[in-house]
Amino acid sequence: MAVSARMDFKSRLRIWLPKLVLSPSLAMVLVFVYGFIAFSVYLSFTDSRLLPSYGWVGWENYSKLWRLSHWEISLANMGIFAALYIGSCTALGLGLAIFLDQKIRIEGVLRTIYLYPMALSFIVTGTAWKWFLDPGIGLENVMQTWGWETFGFDWIKNRNLAIYTVVLAAVWQTSGFVMAMFLAGLRGIDNEIIKAAQIDGASNWNLYRRIVIPQLRPAFLSAFVILGHLAIKTFDLVIALTGGGPGRATELPATFMYSYAFTRNQMGIGAASATIMLMTIAAIMIPYLYAELREKR
């Protein structure tokens, strides 16, 4: 069949038009995301310092990186931060969601209150918590003036404990979001299943433990993936709250990368650390996105 021969320019344009419309976005993404990723990965194998330079040095930046105590601290902090952040957000979010799901009269108001931190910039969050936790003017000072003379709370100034204040502020910011995800999951559970379980004589505790929470698996997965990738990307909050300090006590890979690439003139090492961050996130996100996009077929 000579179908194509019959087609004039107009009909051919009509067939290509949708792809044409998609192409600017696609081109942007290909260049600015994937092209740039390739460039950064390439830089991580070069001797770039203040400016990109193209002397090939192989794995040298990576081996240097892994010998840096600064990087080691960042990773250790990341471990503490990610574990506590994901764990606390999930626990708090799930608990609040279950409690809110008990036909609470002022649910709307409470939901609004739990979720508003998500609308704030991390810089605002960081500023508020920075001064609230500051021993000089914040909680410690307040408690002492209220008469609790021995009260001490100087975590934000303490090398060993400062990372936990980052966890606190981050949990404050995102746990409401996790609550909303779990609440949506709870609302999606078939009411008849819950009625059936109640008729079967399940107590509230067993109802949640055996019937409801297992059905929230998709919400758990989403929460884990979203929180995991947020954890790895955490940057602004640390900058505003502690500036990475005291010392290097709250450095995370994101702040590490920033300072090596832009203030310490070690672009190669910065690029290497960014590559490692990317790989970690890709390991979480790609299977997730793949599963999400496939299901719809």
**For another protein, which residue of 57, 60, 68, 127 counts as binding (CB under 8 A)?**
127
CB count, 10 Å around CB of 52? 15
Q: How far is CA 176 from the centre of its chain?
A: 14
**For another protein, which residue of 87, 218, 247, 287 counts as binding (CB under 8 A)?**
218
Cβ at position 169, least distance to another protein in Å: 8
Q: 268 near 47, Cβ under 8 Å?
A: yes
DSSP state of 155: G
**For another protein, which residue of 83, 91, 161, 184 counts as binding (CB under 8 A)?**
184
Any contact of residue 54 with another protein (CB under 8 A)?
A: no
Name residues contacting another protein, limited to 155-174 (CB under 8 A). 172
Any contact of residue 36 with another protein (CB under 8 A)?
A: yes
Cβ at position 34, least distance to another protein in Å: 7
Closer residue to another protein in complex, CB, 117/167? 117
Q: Taking CB under 8 A as the rule, which mask of x and - marks residues 240-279 in contact with another protein?
A: x--x----------x--xx--xx----x--xx-xxx-xx-
Any contact of residue 296 with another protein (CB under 8 A)?
A: yes
**For another protein, which residue of 70, 75, 138, 202 counts as binding (CB under 8 A)?**
138
Q: Which residue has the tokens 């942007």?
A: 28
Closer residue to another protein in complex, CB, 160/243? 243
Q: 47 near 57, Cβ under 8 Å?
A: yes
C-alpha dist (Å) from residue 62 to 68, 201, 205: 10, 59, 50
Tokens of 21: 């419309």
Give Cβ neighbours of residue 229 (< 8 Å, ≥ 6 apart): 281, 284, 285
Any contact of residue 286 with another protein (CB under 8 A)?
A: yes
Diameter over CA atoms, the chain: 93
Cβ at position 286, least distance to another protein in Å: 7
| Alpha helices (H) in 101-216, listed in sequence order | 107-115, 122-133, 139-145, 162-187, 191-199, 204-206, 213-215
Name residues contacting another protein, limited to 55-74 (CB under 8 A). none
Any contact of residue 94 with another protein (CB under 8 A)?
A: no
Would you call 56 helix, strand, or coil by DSSP? strand
